[in-house]
Structure 1
């Protein structure tokens, strides 16, 4: 198939951020498909085209940063809609695949699909629009109405929908019973993280403040929704009760300066908490290999519990337990398989005590590490989930081809009947 793949935040392994689209697109190419990726390049002043692992990538100069206000982000989304629609409309394809966030990618996706009379498959990465409403991004009745209309329109235009978690799929099915939804969560790249232990050992040797001390790692976005101040406050409790435990916050985002100020005020910055900049996907392997516990935290917004955080599946791939501070499917997964900890959402003192007890129990750590890696191997292996992903795309394309062929045969039959009766 010729596939046009639209993702505003596409990342390669040399960049910081999730690489789901890169890994799935690369595998599509390896399976013989032709893939054109349309994405934004926030640092560019002109469009360019490159080839990444066989993927033809169309980079568009669209500013975006997590530190932007909601209003500026909206303008970024709309700018990408216009530019990507122009590029997608020129491409020849058999299928269009559009992945949110933002959900506005459905607009250029639907336009490109309609222009070539091919199906669109839409991937949903957030509970939309419940999440932006809960986060305060959509406050006015008009914006909420428009978001609901966009969602309904996008689903009607999609041959199939992929959701990244059971909660997202349930939300869609509850409100749109006729939509065909398949869950394909984020995945664990066991090949990439197969060298995590050795890379982690080198990182520990080269980092004097770490050495052989216990390490809790947060690697991800530092946005409002992520609620990483929870870890800063937990570090303040650990500084008094278990000062050898190190917490590393690795990433960037709107709340970075606020987190630094809070850590300095609580007296933990560069003491037992270290705020480091973002690193590439390839470089983050060493940090997961060095850590004893990976953290995935969110602000206290129930809708965030349906998310599918990359950092969780990276931790599983490295064979590392995960600690979360929220309810939802990931918390249920961790509890059900013994692959880490579910921490109290509002009590960082109790969280610090639970983390300290866990890290101080070598047998519990070994058991949780084995359980985490078993999840990576048996349920979330990237190659395994890519098979589900490709199957959705293939079925969407085949269904449309069969429907069109059937319509063609019906039309031809009708013409023959008409001619016969006329004669």
Structure 2
């Protein structure tokens, strides 16, 4: 198959960010398929070309000059989404020998070039739902304009109903798609997966060299991800302060970038934990992040806001932790938290009581027998149910079925 793969925020393992599309695409290439990835160059070189093309693990990647970062205002983000959608539409429609178009959200506007290319090329398209949009920005109060809300809901409907198949990352997301009257038998659940060859492999020997003295052989609890309002990461400073009273040797690391980073640093400084038992670490490439996760005793997954944000959460950090053999605690009772409880590889910590959260984390971080057992159970999941190899084969079968049905008709 020739697959035109659309993902506005595609990352390789040498970049900070989620790599699901990279991992899926490189496995499709290894299986003998041709993949053209259309994405954005979020930090382009000034004066550089509008598009540049590279090859990443056999994937032909088309990078559009389209600046974007998490600290942008809502209007600037909308401009970035639609600017990319227009340019990507022309690019995707230029592949006249394509067999299928595969688009993965977010943003929801990624459906625009997919629908356009599908129409121009008369080829089917498959849509992957990673987040339930526009329900999330509506719930957050970021999409209050009634006209924009109507347009977003209309785009959501078109994104699903023009797709030959919809891939959802969690059962609840599949239910949300089906609630729009999309046929349930055309919804395939393919969850996020474990990058065992990155997070299960030895990290660079100097990955944590700058923090060696601070860490020593002490327990380490980490959060790695976006430092934005949806994650409520500043709460960890309160947990670190509560931990300081119980066990001052336990270390916390917050790894990442985002609009709330400065506020988190100030809050931690006010509590007296910054650079004491808590460090703020800049966003790092996945191979360096692997070193942090492998060194951790416990990893954290954080969300705030209404249940729609976290009930079907399938965060990369959860699966990265499984690959490294590390337990995961969440501040919510979503799908991934249920998995952790079911397999005794973590659970939930109080989302609003730092003392209770610190007590939960300390109990497990100092239980060497439980940590050893959790390591075995997490790796069993990483190499079985959530193996990226197995999940990529499921995606390949899904796309192959769509192409086969298209040719038959």
TM-score, normalized by the shorter chain, greater than 0.5:
yes
TM-score range normalised by the length of the shorter chain: over 0.9
Q: Does 1:88 align with 2:92?
A: yes
CA contact (8 A) 1:98 1:106 kept: yes
CA contact (8 A) 1:201 1:289 kept: no
Task: Choose the corresponding residue for 1:315, options 311, 321, 328.
Answer: 321
> CA 1:242 to 1:200, structure 2 compared with 1: closer, same or farther past 3 Å?
farther
State the match for 2:62 in structure 1. 58
Larger helix percent: 1
**2:313 & 2:205 partners in 1: Cα distance?**
27
**1:60 & 1:202 partners in 2: Cα distance?**
31
List 4+ stretches of structure 1 deviating above 4 A: 198-202
Matches within 5 A, 1:4-43: 4-43=4-43
Q: Deviations over 1:240-294 (max 9, x none)?
A: 2211111111111111111111111111110011001011111111111100001
Q: How many residues align?
A: 402
**2:294 & 2:210 partners in 1: Cα distance?**
13
Task: Choose the corresponding residue for 2:232, options 217, 227, 240.
Answer: 227
State the match for 2:336 in structure 1. 330
**1:204 & 1:212 partners in 2: Cα distance?**
13
Q: Does 1:77 align with 2:67?
A: no
- TM-score, normalization by structure 2: 0.95
Higher Cα radius of gyration:
1
Matches within 5 A, 1:73-152: 73-92=77-96, 93-152=98-157
> CA 1:230 to 1:206, structure 2 compared with 1: closer, same or farther past 3 Å?
closer
| Greater Cα shift, 155-164 or 135-144 | 135-144
**1:203 & 1:171 partners in 2: Cα distance?**
41
> CA 1:201 to 1:332, structure 2 compared with 1: closer, same or farther past 3 Å?
farther
> CA 1:232 to 1:200, structure 2 compared with 1: closer, same or farther past 3 Å?
farther
State the match for 2:406 in structure 1. 400
State the match for 1:408 in structure 2. none
State the match for 2:221 in structure 1. 216
Secondary structure in structure 1 of the residue aligned to 2:214: coil
**1:86 & 1:394 partners in 2: Cα distance?**
25
CA contact (8 A) 2:253 2:278 kept: yes
CA contact (8 A) 1:96 1:112 kept: yes
Task: Choose the corresponding residue for 1:240, options 210, 222, 245.
Answer: 245
**1:333 & 1:201 partners in 2: Cα distance?**
33
Matches within 5 A, 1:234-383: 234-305=239-310, 306-383=312-389
CA contact (8 A) 1:204 1:211 kept: no
Q: Deviations over 1:294-318 (max 9, x none)?
A: 1011113211221210010000000
